[in-house]
Chain A
Amino acid sequence: MTHPIQPAISDVPALFSIRNLHLSFPDRAHKPLLGPAPRIEVLKGISLDIPKGQITGIVGESGSGKSTFGRILVRLLDPDSGQVLFDGQDIGSLNETELRPLRRDLQMIFQDPMSSLNPRHKVSRIITQPMKRYGRGGTRADAIAALGKVGLPPEFAERYPHELSGGQRQRVGIARAIALEPRFILADEIVSGLDVSSQAQVLTLLGDLARDMGLTIAFISHDLSVIQYLCDNVVVLHHGVIVDQGPVQTVFDAPQSNITKSLLAAIPTPEIDEDWWAETESF
């Protein structure tokens, strides 16, 4: 099932170059009474380039390692081994002090906006706090400008997260990330909690922002139909290994791996089609 590693998925220069990345977690469920717990390998040697100024989709089923991989990119997790070159610098082995100047450049938009926005803070403070932290302004006007970019009116600055809908909260999460003018944004399943119409709004917005601001984004999703609209490139993960990658249309037109094929076949498209049921994997 393993395919030859082809790190170059695009001829655009890479912002991230990942080489032979490994990560394992201790398996506490099977820890013997004495001695260390056995380890579960989550990422088994991933090599990949993430092109600058493009949106790269990272797809896979639950447990494929896609979120773990994303968290290494923004260095919320430390890899066991392998290189994570961010603009030529290996950030995989930097400690927290050395990482500090890079933190602003590596931003994240989270899956659940309710738990990633402080419920006691108004939207303006949520957006400006990190700006002040990194010395990038942080006035009320800055907050309103950031809200404007994500299509929210100025009065939203005075609201609390619980006063917003799911789609609006997710826009605030995007506003907070882009206000720092980061060089890389990780978006982890950011539309999976939204209904179709809010999903379409958030995706359209993110696509427009990426184009206008030249953002480099890694977009994690389990849904290939969403990837198709938003991303330039796609990487398919399965059990911690890359099984397919390339420009979105190439992968969709000629999927190399059975994993990609089954992910494609599982999408419930809004069309009447009895054949859709034909290929369903069993449990």
Chain B
Amino acid sequence: MTSTHPTAQTLDIIKLNVRLANGRRLLRDVSLTLKPGEVRALVGESGAGKSMIGKAVLGILPNNLDISEGEIILEGAHLNAMTPSTRRKTVAKMSSLIPQDPLTALNPVRKIGPQITDPLIRIHGWSADRAMKRARDLLDRVHIRAPERVMASYPHELSGGMRQRILIAAAFAPSPRLIVADEPTTALDVTVQKQILKLIRELQRETGTAVLFVTHDMGVVAKISQQVTVLFAGRVMEDAPTQQVFEAPSHPYTQALIKATPTLNAVTKSFSPVPAELIAELHSDIAKIDAAYDAGDRA
């Protein structure tokens, strides 16, 4: 049923292409690996396909997209070779999502408690008692005072920062091998963002969970990740250790993204948008690559 892959990686994506029904590619030969316990940032501008990679792994892309081309290997399991139901179960057991918008991600008419414990019971087969205890511990761990009261509350009774902490607790509760964090701090203000990042980092280190961290903010990349994949128009521009990316970015697009990020360092104070000429140049490169790809496709 499931072919296994002799690998020590948590996640291995090999030449993944995502296409619209008309054949247009949204992801172009994306490859990346994620080691156990590692945080890899996926960074790029709106439309670069960074969220799409996370969604492709979790199998939550819209049905009209074709993701048959390329391999996604999660803990040795070849996801693309599986039947949809096996794939769903495998992914649910091994991974969690921390979504961007904490308001829409929680069911407004259910209490917080069951929203955390349900997956533990249904997917992971835990007893209700064990799931309740775990939920309480995790809420405590994300600094929620009075976890009992919060578990009996509805989402609208809680602040945005609190809801995001609840979603983090829920994501870490089953100790998954992989967490996809899809811009988890974009909706928050800077001080809360820092607290949330710190929580993710601590829990991730404690549990050894690997994290695919989607963000558009090079500042967040510098703080949270060990590895970086820089994306532009669904194509990997640079894949390198975070340290290297900030000390010596090799791709001009990476350099431009860093320059577009505000810094507080008064000495190197410079701040400029990604140059339009660079964008045009990258688009024309991609058009050439697509033309060659389409020609190969027909052959």
Contacts and interface: CB of A to CB of B under 8 A. Distances in A.
A1 interface: no
Contact of B265 (A265, A269, A276): A269
A204 B265 CA distance: 18
Given A196-B261, A283-B195, A272 B243 contact: yes
Contacts of A228: 262, 264, 269
Interface string A73-109: 0000000000000000000000000000000000000
By secondary structure, the B interface counts as helix
A225 B190 CA distance: 10
B190 A226 contact: no
B258 A266 contact: no
Nearest to B165: A283
Interface residues of B, number: 44
B217 A196 contact: yes
Nearest to B45: A195
Interface string B280-294: 000000000000000
B218 A270 contact: yes
Nearest to A269: B263
Contacts of A20: none
Contacts of A282: 143, 195
Interface stretch (B21-29, B107-115, B130-138, B220-228): B220-228
Interface string B156-170: 000011000100000
Contacts of B263: 225, 269-271
Contacts of B257: 196-197
B65 interface: no
Nearest to B216: A195
B89 interface: no
Contacts of B195: 280-283
A196 B193 contact: no
A13 interface: no
Interface string A193-228: 001111111011000000000000000001111101
B264 A196 contact: no
Contacts of B247: 272
By secondary structure, the A interface counts as helix
Q: Which of A197, A228, A268, A280 has the most CB of B within 10 A?
A: A268
B198 interface: yes
Nearest to B191: A266
Given A196-B257, A225-B263, A229-B271, A272 B46 contact: no
Nearest to A62: B189
A197 B273 contact: yes
B278 to A, nearest CB: 10
Q: Which of B193, B220, B221 has the most CB of A within 10 A?
A: B193
Contacts of A271: 222, 246, 263, 265
A267 B265 contact: no
A30 B213 CA distance: 40
Interface in A231-274: 249, 252, 262-273
A263 B217 contact: no
Given A165-B46, A270-B246, 4 more contacts: A200-B274, A226-B262, A270-B258, A272-B243
The 10 closest A-B pairs by CB, nearest first: A268-B219, A225-B262, A222-B189, A200-B273, A283-B143, A195-B216, A201-B273, A266-B190, A266-B194, A270-B261
Interface of B: 45-46, 143-144, 160-161, 165, 189-195, 197-198, 201, 216-223, 242-243, 246-247, 256-258, 260-266, 269, 271-274
Interface of A: 61-62, 165-166, 195-201, 203-204, 222-226, 228-229, 249, 252, 262-273, 276-277, 280-283
18 contacts: A166-B46, A196-B45, A196-B218, A196-B257, A198-B46, A223-B189, A224-B264, A228-B262, A264-B264, A266-B194, A267-B190, A267-B264, A268-B194, A268-B220, A270-B218, A271-B246, A273-B222, A283-B165
